[in-house]
Amino acid sequence: MILKNLPALGLALLACAPALAENVTTPDTTATAFDGSEKRSQVWLTSGFLTHHFQRDKHLNGNNPGLGMEYRLSEYSAFTAGRFFNSDRQHSKYVGMYYQPLSYAGVRFGAVVGGFDGYPKMRGGGWFLAAIPTATFEYQRVGVNVAIVPTYKDRLHGGISMQLKLKLFE
């Protein structure tokens, strides 16, 4: 089943990303990506998450250590994959793509769409798809992703999650 192969697919996409992002120049020599924004080719190391949960009475784990990678294709889009210790005190993996076409005062806004696993009450801990609103701020070699994770019934516990990141190279 394709959902079981999402981590491998995510890693394959990250490995192929440099080929996808090769310079394409327009007559004015400005490189543009598939989404029409300025092309980039950056690799970021990402942390796990710090989460402030909306349901404070459930004694959820707000310290979600982990490690991941992000490949920024352009000003608007990036691939991401990683692993972390989730709010239910289980290990989770994720693979997805950020699309953030809006910006204000240096902060990009949009969503990350991808697959996640490891939440016992959601599909028995198996893979599921989700779209999560996000904001990203990057300054030189450091950055932060902030996500607003919605609560979904009694299966997923919502909150505001923050992820730190460090640019490895471009």
Q: What confidence score (pLDDT) does residue 58 get? A: 83
Question: Residue 81 forms beta bridges with which residues?
Answer: 69, 95
Burial zone of 46 (CB within 10 Å; 0-12 exposed, 13-18 middle, 19+ buried) = buried
Mean pLDDT of the chain: 86
Buried-state track 79-117, b at ≥16 Cβ within 10 A, e below 16: bbbbbbbbbbeeebbbbbbbbbeebeeeebebbbebbbb
Instruction: Read off the pLDDT of residues 137-170 as tens digits, 9 standing for 90 and up.
Output: 999 999 999 999 998 888 888 999 999 999 999 8
Q: What confidence score (pLDDT) does residue 34 get? A: 72
Report the DSSP pairing between strands 39-53 and 63-74. Answer: antiparallel
Q: Which of 154, 78, 168, 155 is nearest to 116 (CA)?
A: 155
Average pLDDT on 49-54 reads 94
Q: Which of 47, 48, 68, 64 is nearest to 157 (CA)?
A: 64
Average pLDDT on 24-42 reads 68
Q: What confidence score (pLDDT) does residue 57 get? A: 83
Report whether pLDDT(44) > 90. yes
Q: What confidence score (pLDDT) does residue 74 get? A: 92
Q: Cα dist. 74→3, 11, 134, 163 in Å?
A: 26, 18, 16, 20
Q: What confidence score (pLDDT) does residue 92 get? A: 97
Please report, rounded to a whole number, the percentage of residues in the chain having pLDDT higher than 70: 82
Q: How far apart are CA 163 and CA 165, in angstroms?
A: 7
Instruction: Read off the pLDDT of residues 82-124 as tens digits, 9 standing for 90 and up.
Output: 999 999 999 999 999 999 999 999 999 999 999 999 999 999 9
- The token pair at 161 is 């999650």
pTM of the model: 0.78
Q: What confidence score (pLDDT) does residue 11 get? A: 53
Q: What confidence score (pLDDT) does residue 170 get? A: 87
The amino acid at residue 92 is: S
